[in-house]
Amino acid sequence: MTPLATAKRSRSVTTEEVLLILCHSVTDVLGNAGNREVSYSPMVQKINKTCLRPDIGCFVIFDGGFSGLVIINFTAAAAMEIYRKYLLSMGMPENELAQYHTSDEVGNVMGEIMNQIVGDFTNKVRHQLRTSITQSQPKMMAINKQVQISVNTTLDQPQSRRVTFSTEDNNIFYMELSMDKTEFIKLHDFDEVALEDPDDILEENREREEKKVKENLENDSNDDLMDDLGI
């Protein structure tokens, strides 16, 4: 076996690459939720602890192939922008939207978005790293002071990172990841099957049902014609 083949087979995935998967989940989910211009800084911070910070913080614990904690801290402006664009993209009238980030509705919507982000992340991890992790229910809260959060289980050499995100209106929010010091090493090459988009699956099912209904209507029309002709 050549050194090049060995290097190809031994390609490793580190904490930073797991973090990159998570960053992609954030931008993908927010993009589908009406926030298409969200971007993240190419520079990542190494931090010693993870915290919930004002104005809205949310955290999710995951476990399985590796353990960790994801926190997203939104400023009030960032939370309201994401909340408003999400509901407006779904056809919600603007006069029915909440006006303050402390509203229960804002917390519920942001919690649902967080749930979608981590769900997308676990799906990508399963697909790209061939391992499985499960997530807890997101906990979203409006706070006015910093609260330190730690994983309830002992991590093996925990590593923590923080990434800065910007919205289309230049509002800032931060994502923090704390996880095991983990390195995935590819033992051999494998074919990566494209991830199925749930929206595409729903659309295919809808088109299939419409086609079936159309065929049934055509068959009924033909039967009626035969009856009229006495055949």
d(CA 186, CA 181): 17
Average confidence score pLDDT of the chain: 83
pLDDT of residue 222: 61
206 in the same domain as 175? no
Domain identity same for 159 and 201: no
Q: Do 164 and 211 have their domain in common?
A: no
Query: CB-side exposure of 157: number of CA atoms within 13 Å?
Result: 4
pLDDT classification of 24: cutoffs 50, 70, 90:
very high
Supply the pLDDT for residue 109: 93
Q: What are the pLDDT digits (tens) for 134-180?
A: 988 888 888 888 888 766 556 778 899 999 999 999 999 999 999 98
CA-to-CA separations, 77 to 62, 68, 168, 176, 201, in angstroms, rounded: 28, 28, 12, 19, 34
C-beta separation of 31 from 105 below 8 A: no
pLDDT score for 4:
42
CA distance 66 to 51: 20
pLDDT reported for residue 9: 45
Instruction: Provide the terminal-to-terminal Cα distance of the chain, rounded to the nearest Å.
Output: 75
51-66 residue pLDDT tens: 999 899 999 998 888 8
Confidence (pLDDT) at 26? 97
pLDDT at position 186: 81
Instruction: Output the domain CATH number for residue 111.
Output: 3.40.1550.10
Q: Which domain holds residue 226?
A: 196-231
Same domain, 7 and 104: yes
Pair (82, 117) in one structural domain? yes
179 & 211 share domain: no
* Residue 18, pLDDT above cutoff 60: yes
By the 8 A CB rule, do 141 and 71 touch? no
> For 63-106, how does the pLDDT look when each residue is reduced to its tens digit (9 = 90+)?
888 889 999 999 999 999 999 999 999 999 999 999 999 999 99
Task: Identify whether residues 183 and 205 lie together within a single domain.
Answer: no
**Structural domain count of the chain:** 2
Q: How many residues does the chain have?
A: 231
Task: Identify whether residues 61 and 23 lie together within a single domain.
Answer: yes
The H or E element spanning position 102 is none
What is the percent of the chain with per-residue pLDDT over 70, rounded to a whole number?
75
pLDDT tens-place string over residues 201-222: 445 555 666 676 566 666 666 6
The helix (H) or strand (E) run that includes residue 68 is strand 68-74
Peptide bond into 55 cis (omega under 30): yes
